[in-house]
Amino acid sequence: MAFQEFTSTAVQLFDKWMESSDPRTKGWLLMSNPIPQMLIIVFYIYFVISLGPKIMENRKPFDLKRVLIVYNIFVVSLSVYMCYEFLMAGWGTGYTFGCDLVDYSQSPKAMRMASVCWLYYFSKFIEMLDTVFFVLRKKPKQITFLHVFHHSIMPFTWWFGVRFSPGGLGTFHALLNCIVHVIMYTYYLLSALGPSFQRFLWWKKHLTSLQLIQFVLVTVHISQYFFMKDCPYPYPLFMYIIALYGIIFLLLFLNFWHHAYTKGKRLPKILQKTISPKNNNDIHHKKE
């Protein structure tokens, strides 16, 4: 009985909270309630952790070279388009990089920002294919906790962003992420083109540096909200979530950097040769 009462109260509170959501995005794809996206995310995790590896256990890896080329070209193009839309909808045409509030009107510019926010949210489901391709190509070492966590948490949190506050200072990290993805998926595209393009992949380490810079900028930008005397942002909870997001991913990527590059485990083959056994032993002794 107590559990039923708790559940009933939680549902009532959620319904009341939903009444204050942005009515403009209510009828958009996947926006009516969070259950459909949660089902997608749960199936994604189940496929990556259990179902996919079982299906591929006694199969040869799929040759997805052409698929990966088309996919990466598409994601690069989509990211470029979203960068342009975020800039034209606010970040390049009026936002101050300070207390930028959400415009809930039906004006063309406000609707343009809401639309690109939804498109960014939907793109997170498209990017789940990254992991699906790893499974189908039998690349388990690529499927790290950081990778799966990132692809799972982003659409989940952004559903609430699109439904309640599609715009304002809470979207700065989306613009940054789109810029990083233009560069990142260009790298993946060159990698998918084959060995003849490996000489162009020397900058993989710098790509991780760019991702670290991204999360530093996200954390610094959103942290200013907590020092503003008067910034009537309608949903302060999202500011805390974004700040926490920036810090968590900064720490996770720093950990990735340590294992991937300090230890040399994820450097391109052309650079791994520059790490001599002597250097590896020195690193090992320092760790001890």
Ranges 12-21, 29-38, 258-267, most confident: 29-38
Q: What is the 3-state secondary structure (H, E, C) of 142-205?
A: HCCHHHHHHHHHHHHHHHHHHHHCCCHHHHHHHHHHHHHHHHHHHHHHHHHCCHHHHHHCCCHH
What letter represents residue 68's amino acid? L
What long-range pairs does 248-257 form, CB within 8 A, spacing at least 24? 249/150, 249/215, 250/212, 250/215, 250/216, 250/219, 252/145, 252/146, 252/149, 253/146, 253/208, 253/211, 253/212, 253/215, 254/212, 255/146, 256/144, 256/146, 256/208, 257/208, 257/212
Task: Give the pLDDT score at 265.
Answer: 56
Average of pLDDT values for 195-218?
A: 88
Task: Give the pLDDT score at 272.
Answer: 46
Compute the distance between CA of residue 202 and CA of residue 207 in angstroms, rounded to an integer: 10
Which residues are annotated as catalytic? 150
Digit-coded pLDDT (tens) for 81-106: 999 999 999 999 999 999 999 999 99
29 pLDDT above the threshold of 90 = yes
Average of pLDDT values for 39-66?
A: 97
270 pLDDT above the threshold of 50 = no
Average of pLDDT values for 25-34?
A: 96
Handedness of CA 63, 65, 202, 246 (dihedral sign): negative
**Pair 150, 156: CB distance under 8 Å:** no
Compute the distance between CA of residue 181 and CA of residue 219 in angstroms, rounded to an integer: 18
Digit-coded pLDDT (tens) for 254-263: 888 877 777 6
225 pLDDT above the threshold of 50 = yes
Confidence class for position 276, pLDDT limits 50, 70, 90: very low
